[in-house]
Chain A
Amino acid sequence: MGDLKDLIEYIAKALVDNPDVVSVKEIPGEKTVIYELKVGEGDLGKIIGREGKTAKAIRTIISAAAMKKGKRAVLEILE
Protein backbone atom coordinates (compact mmCIF):
# COMPACT_ATOMS: atom_id res chain seq x y z
CA MET A 1 0.00 0.00 0.00
CA GLY A 2 2.65 2.44 -1.11
CA ASP A 3 0.13 5.14 -1.84
CA LEU A 4 -0.91 5.26 1.83
CA LYS A 5 2.71 5.81 2.77
CA ASP A 6 2.89 8.63 0.24
CA LEU A 7 -0.39 10.06 1.53
CA ILE A 8 0.87 10.18 5.13
CA GLU A 9 4.12 11.71 3.97
CA TYR A 10 2.28 14.34 1.94
CA ILE A 11 0.08 15.41 4.85
CA ALA A 12 2.98 15.48 7.31
CA LYS A 13 5.23 17.50 5.02
CA ALA A 14 2.47 20.02 4.41
CA LEU A 15 1.99 20.59 8.15
CA VAL A 16 5.48 20.71 9.68
CA ASP A 17 8.18 23.36 9.71
CA ASN A 18 10.89 20.88 8.68
CA PRO A 19 9.51 18.81 5.81
CA ASP A 20 12.98 17.54 4.85
CA VAL A 21 13.27 15.34 7.91
CA VAL A 22 9.82 13.76 7.65
CA SER A 23 9.96 10.02 7.05
CA VAL A 24 7.42 7.23 6.92
CA LYS A 25 8.22 3.57 7.41
CA GLU A 26 5.78 0.89 6.32
CA ILE A 27 5.70 -2.31 8.37
CA PRO A 28 3.52 -4.78 6.49
CA GLY A 29 1.43 -7.41 8.21
CA GLU A 30 -1.14 -9.93 7.03
CA LYS A 31 -4.19 -7.81 7.76
CA THR A 32 -2.76 -4.78 9.47
CA VAL A 33 -0.14 -2.44 8.13
CA ILE A 34 1.71 -0.23 10.56
CA TYR A 35 3.01 3.14 9.48
CA GLU A 36 5.67 4.85 11.52
CA LEU A 37 5.70 8.55 10.92
CA LYS A 38 8.78 10.36 12.14
CA VAL A 39 8.96 14.14 12.26
CA GLY A 40 11.68 16.59 13.27
CA GLU A 41 12.23 17.99 16.70
CA GLY A 42 9.51 20.46 17.67
CA ASP A 43 7.17 19.39 14.88
CA LEU A 44 5.30 16.73 16.84
CA GLY A 45 2.74 19.26 18.06
CA LYS A 46 1.88 20.23 14.48
CA ILE A 47 1.00 16.63 13.66
CA ILE A 48 -0.86 15.94 16.91
CA GLY A 49 -2.78 19.23 16.93
CA ARG A 50 -4.89 20.72 19.67
CA GLU A 51 -6.35 17.92 21.78
CA GLY A 52 -5.07 15.47 19.20
CA LYS A 53 -7.46 16.70 16.56
CA THR A 54 -4.96 16.65 13.71
CA ALA A 55 -3.65 13.16 14.50
CA LYS A 56 -7.23 11.93 14.74
CA ALA A 57 -8.10 13.43 11.34
CA ILE A 58 -5.03 11.84 9.72
CA ARG A 59 -5.91 8.45 11.23
CA THR A 60 -9.52 8.74 10.05
CA ILE A 61 -8.42 9.32 6.46
CA ILE A 62 -5.74 6.63 6.50
CA SER A 63 -8.21 4.09 7.93
CA ALA A 64 -10.80 4.97 5.30
CA ALA A 65 -8.30 4.60 2.48
CA ALA A 66 -6.97 1.32 3.90
CA MET A 67 -10.46 -0.09 4.37
CA LYS A 68 -11.18 0.56 0.72
CA LYS A 69 -8.28 -1.81 -0.01
CA GLY A 70 -9.57 -4.36 2.51
CA LYS A 71 -6.80 -3.69 5.04
CA ARG A 72 -6.38 -2.12 8.42
CA ALA A 73 -3.82 0.61 8.96
CA VAL A 74 -2.29 1.81 12.18
CA LEU A 75 -0.42 5.07 12.36
CA GLU A 76 2.30 5.61 14.95
CA ILE A 77 3.66 9.10 15.32
CA LEU A 78 7.22 9.53 16.59
CA GLU A 79 9.59 12.41 17.10
Chain B
Amino acid sequence: MRYIEEEGRTVEEALEKALEKAGIDRSEARFEVLSEGLGDEPARVRLYQDAEELDLIEGLIKEFLGILTSRVDVEIEPRKKGYYVNIHTRGYDSALIGRGGKTLEALEYLINLMLRRKKSNLQVELDISHYRERRKEFLKNKALAVARRVKETGKEMRIDPLTPEERRLVRDTLRKDRSIRVYLVGRGGEATLVVAPAKRSRSS
Protein backbone atom coordinates (compact mmCIF):
# COMPACT_ATOMS: atom_id res chain seq x y z
CA MET B 1 0.00 0.00 0.00
CA ARG B 2 1.28 3.41 -0.89
CA TYR B 3 0.86 6.40 1.34
CA ILE B 4 2.21 9.87 1.99
CA GLU B 5 2.76 11.53 5.34
CA GLU B 6 2.38 15.20 6.10
CA GLU B 7 2.87 17.42 9.12
CA GLY B 8 1.03 20.51 10.25
CA ARG B 9 0.15 22.54 13.33
CA THR B 10 -3.14 20.71 13.54
CA VAL B 11 -4.41 17.39 12.22
CA GLU B 12 -6.70 19.36 9.93
CA GLU B 13 -3.81 21.30 8.42
CA ALA B 14 -1.68 18.20 7.95
CA LEU B 15 -4.57 16.41 6.26
CA GLU B 16 -5.24 19.38 3.97
CA LYS B 17 -1.61 19.35 2.87
CA ALA B 18 -1.62 15.62 2.23
CA LEU B 19 -4.88 15.74 0.26
CA GLU B 20 -3.57 18.58 -1.85
CA LYS B 21 -0.32 16.77 -2.57
CA ALA B 22 -2.00 13.49 -3.43
CA GLY B 23 -4.79 15.10 -5.42
CA ILE B 24 -7.36 13.11 -3.46
CA ASP B 25 -10.86 14.29 -2.67
CA ARG B 26 -11.71 14.53 1.01
CA SER B 27 -14.71 12.26 0.68
CA GLU B 28 -12.50 9.45 -0.65
CA ALA B 29 -9.65 9.93 1.80
CA ARG B 30 -8.41 7.00 3.85
CA PHE B 31 -6.01 8.26 6.45
CA GLU B 32 -4.53 7.62 9.87
CA VAL B 33 -3.62 10.21 12.49
CA LEU B 34 -0.05 9.45 13.59
CA SER B 35 0.22 12.35 16.00
CA GLU B 36 -2.45 14.71 17.33
CA GLY B 37 -0.01 17.60 17.46
CA LEU B 38 -0.11 18.30 21.18
CA GLY B 39 2.41 20.65 22.75
CA ASP B 40 5.50 21.14 20.61
CA GLU B 41 4.81 18.03 18.57
CA PRO B 42 3.54 18.73 15.06
CA ALA B 43 0.41 16.90 13.98
CA ARG B 44 1.10 14.08 11.52
CA VAL B 45 -1.21 12.18 9.25
CA ARG B 46 -0.67 9.29 6.87
CA LEU B 47 -2.85 9.36 3.78
CA TYR B 48 -3.27 6.18 1.75
CA GLN B 49 -3.23 6.50 -2.01
CA ASP B 50 -4.86 4.57 -4.79
CA ALA B 51 -2.04 2.22 -5.64
CA GLU B 52 -3.58 0.95 -8.83
CA GLU B 53 -2.72 3.92 -11.03
CA LEU B 54 0.71 4.40 -9.49
CA ASP B 55 1.60 0.74 -9.98
CA LEU B 56 0.34 0.86 -13.54
CA ILE B 57 2.52 3.85 -14.39
CA GLU B 58 5.61 2.59 -12.63
CA GLY B 59 5.18 -0.94 -14.00
CA LEU B 60 4.79 0.17 -17.60
CA ILE B 61 7.73 2.57 -17.59
CA LYS B 62 10.06 0.09 -15.89
CA GLU B 63 9.08 -2.70 -18.22
CA PHE B 64 9.31 -0.51 -21.32
CA LEU B 65 12.57 1.30 -20.68
CA GLY B 66 14.01 -1.71 -18.89
CA ILE B 67 14.43 -3.18 -22.38
CA LEU B 68 17.06 -0.51 -23.09
CA THR B 69 18.81 0.02 -19.81
CA SER B 70 19.65 -2.02 -16.77
CA ARG B 71 18.14 0.45 -14.35
CA VAL B 72 15.15 2.79 -14.37
CA ASP B 73 14.09 4.78 -11.31
CA VAL B 74 10.59 6.21 -11.34
CA GLU B 75 9.23 8.93 -9.04
CA ILE B 76 5.56 9.78 -9.33
CA GLU B 77 3.88 12.91 -7.95
CA PRO B 78 0.16 13.44 -8.33
CA ARG B 79 -0.82 16.71 -9.95
CA LYS B 80 -4.20 18.36 -10.36
CA LYS B 81 -4.54 16.67 -13.71
CA GLY B 82 -2.78 13.32 -13.84
CA TYR B 83 0.74 12.77 -12.57
CA TYR B 84 4.21 14.24 -12.84
CA VAL B 85 6.58 11.37 -13.47
CA ASN B 86 10.30 11.89 -13.21
CA ILE B 87 12.53 9.06 -14.35
CA HIS B 88 16.21 8.42 -14.17
CA THR B 89 17.88 5.77 -16.29
CA ARG B 90 21.31 4.25 -16.29
CA GLY B 91 23.18 5.79 -19.22
CA TYR B 92 20.19 6.75 -21.34
CA ASP B 93 19.03 10.07 -19.88
CA SER B 94 20.51 12.41 -22.48
CA ALA B 95 19.62 10.11 -25.39
CA LEU B 96 16.01 9.94 -24.20
CA ILE B 97 15.77 13.71 -23.66
CA GLY B 98 17.14 14.49 -27.13
CA ARG B 99 17.89 17.85 -28.65
CA GLY B 100 15.58 20.47 -27.19
CA GLY B 101 13.64 17.73 -25.43
CA LYS B 102 12.33 16.26 -28.70
CA THR B 103 12.82 12.62 -27.76
CA LEU B 104 11.33 13.22 -24.33
CA GLU B 105 8.21 14.62 -25.99
CA ALA B 106 7.90 11.55 -28.22
CA LEU B 107 8.42 9.29 -25.22
CA GLU B 108 5.77 11.10 -23.21
CA TYR B 109 3.33 10.85 -26.08
CA LEU B 110 3.88 7.09 -26.48
CA ILE B 111 3.77 6.35 -22.77
CA ASN B 112 0.48 8.23 -22.46
CA LEU B 113 -0.89 6.32 -25.43
CA MET B 114 0.10 2.99 -23.88
CA LEU B 115 -1.24 3.96 -20.45
CA ARG B 116 -4.57 5.11 -21.83
CA ARG B 117 -5.10 1.73 -23.43
CA LYS B 118 -4.78 0.20 -19.99
CA LYS B 119 -6.83 2.82 -18.22
CA SER B 120 -8.63 5.66 -19.92
CA ASN B 121 -8.04 9.20 -18.70
CA LEU B 122 -4.70 8.29 -17.21
CA GLN B 123 -2.25 11.03 -18.11
CA VAL B 124 1.30 11.80 -17.11
CA GLU B 125 3.75 14.61 -17.62
CA LEU B 126 7.03 12.85 -18.19
CA ASP B 127 10.37 14.22 -17.11
CA ILE B 128 13.89 12.81 -17.17
CA SER B 129 16.22 13.76 -14.32
CA HIS B 130 14.11 16.92 -13.90
CA TYR B 131 15.14 18.23 -17.34
CA ARG B 132 11.76 19.92 -17.87
CA GLU B 133 11.77 21.54 -14.45
CA ARG B 134 15.26 22.86 -14.97
CA ARG B 135 14.37 24.11 -18.45
CA LYS B 136 11.31 25.91 -17.05
CA GLU B 137 13.41 27.56 -14.37
CA PHE B 138 15.96 28.60 -16.99
CA LEU B 139 13.25 30.05 -19.26
CA LYS B 140 11.62 32.00 -16.44
CA ASN B 141 14.94 33.56 -15.51
CA LYS B 142 15.68 34.31 -19.14
CA ALA B 143 12.28 35.96 -19.63
CA LEU B 144 12.83 38.15 -16.57
CA ALA B 145 16.34 39.07 -17.69
CA VAL B 146 15.11 40.02 -21.17
CA ALA B 147 12.30 42.09 -19.64
CA ARG B 148 14.79 43.96 -17.45
CA ARG B 149 16.99 44.69 -20.44
CA VAL B 150 14.05 45.91 -22.52
CA LYS B 151 13.08 48.29 -19.75
CA GLU B 152 16.64 49.59 -19.44
CA THR B 153 17.21 50.17 -23.14
CA GLY B 154 13.65 50.92 -24.26
CA LYS B 155 14.26 48.63 -27.23
CA GLU B 156 12.45 45.44 -28.05
CA MET B 157 14.17 42.07 -27.94
CA ARG B 158 13.48 38.67 -29.42
CA ILE B 159 13.47 35.42 -27.50
CA ASP B 160 14.72 32.53 -29.65
CA PRO B 161 12.18 30.11 -31.08
CA LEU B 162 10.50 28.08 -28.39
CA THR B 163 7.91 25.34 -28.33
CA PRO B 164 4.30 26.53 -27.89
CA GLU B 165 4.37 25.29 -24.31
CA GLU B 166 7.55 27.22 -23.60
CA ARG B 167 6.11 30.38 -25.17
CA ARG B 168 3.14 30.10 -22.85
CA LEU B 169 5.49 29.88 -19.90
CA VAL B 170 7.35 33.04 -20.99
CA ARG B 171 4.06 34.92 -21.47
CA ASP B 172 2.80 33.79 -18.07
CA THR B 173 6.04 34.85 -16.41
CA LEU B 174 5.81 38.36 -17.85
CA ARG B 175 2.03 38.77 -17.75
CA LYS B 176 1.94 40.92 -14.61
CA ASP B 177 4.60 43.34 -15.79
CA ARG B 178 2.64 46.31 -17.16
CA SER B 179 5.69 48.17 -18.41
CA ILE B 180 6.33 45.66 -21.20
CA ARG B 181 4.28 43.77 -23.76
CA VAL B 182 4.95 40.40 -25.37
CA TYR B 183 3.90 39.53 -28.91
CA LEU B 184 4.43 36.81 -31.45
CA VAL B 185 5.97 37.20 -34.90
CA GLY B 186 6.14 34.52 -37.59
CA ARG B 187 4.25 31.27 -37.74
CA GLY B 188 4.72 27.59 -37.13
CA GLY B 189 8.27 26.48 -36.42
CA GLU B 190 9.65 29.98 -37.02
CA ALA B 191 7.42 31.76 -34.56
CA THR B 192 9.39 33.97 -32.20
CA LEU B 193 8.38 35.94 -29.15
CA VAL B 194 9.23 39.62 -28.96
CA VAL B 195 9.40 41.53 -25.70
CA ALA B 196 8.81 45.26 -26.17
CA PRO B 197 8.25 48.30 -23.96
CA ALA B 198 4.55 48.81 -23.31
CA LYS B 199 4.71 52.41 -24.55
CA ARG B 200 7.00 53.41 -27.35
CA SER B 201 9.96 55.16 -25.81
CA ARG B 202 9.85 57.90 -28.46
CA SER B 203 6.35 59.04 -27.53
CA SER B 204 6.95 59.03 -23.80
Contacts and interface: CB of A to CB of B under 8 A. Distances in A.
Interface of A: 3, 6-7, 10-11, 14-15, 49, 53-54, 56-58, 60-61, 64-65, 67-68
Contacts of A15: 113-114, 117
B106 A3 contact: no
Contacts of B95: 64-65, 67-68
Given A61-B103, A64-B98, A65-B95, A54 B68 contact: no
Contacts of A53: 109
Contacts of B102: 60
A11 B92 contact: no
A44 B72 CA distance: 30
A11 B114 contact: yes
Contacts of B114: 11, 14-15
14 contacts: A7-B68, A10-B63, A11-B110, A14-B117, A15-B117, A49-B113, A54-B113, A57-B106, A57-B109, A60-B102, A64-B95, A65-B68, A67-B95, A68-B92
Given A64-B98, A67-B95, A57 B67 contact: no
Nearest to A65: B68
Contacts of A64: 95-96, 98, 103
A7 B117 contact: no
Interface of B: 60, 63-64, 67-68, 91-92, 95-96, 98, 102-103, 106-107, 109-110, 113-114, 117
Given A64-B95, A68-B92, A54 B110 contact: yes
Given A11-B114, A57-B107, A64-B98, 14 more contacts: A3-B67, A7-B68, A11-B64, A11-B110, A14-B117, A54-B109, A58-B106, A60-B106, A61-B96, A61-B107, A64-B95, A65-B92, A68-B92, A68-B95
A58 B95 CA distance: 14
A8 to B, nearest CB: 10
Contacts of A56: 106
B83 to A, nearest CB: 18
Nearest to B98: A64
Contact of A58 (B67, B68, B110): B110
Closest 8 pairs (CB-CB, A-B): A60-B106, A57-B106, A68-B95, A14-B114, A64-B103, A57-B109, A7-B67, A6-B67
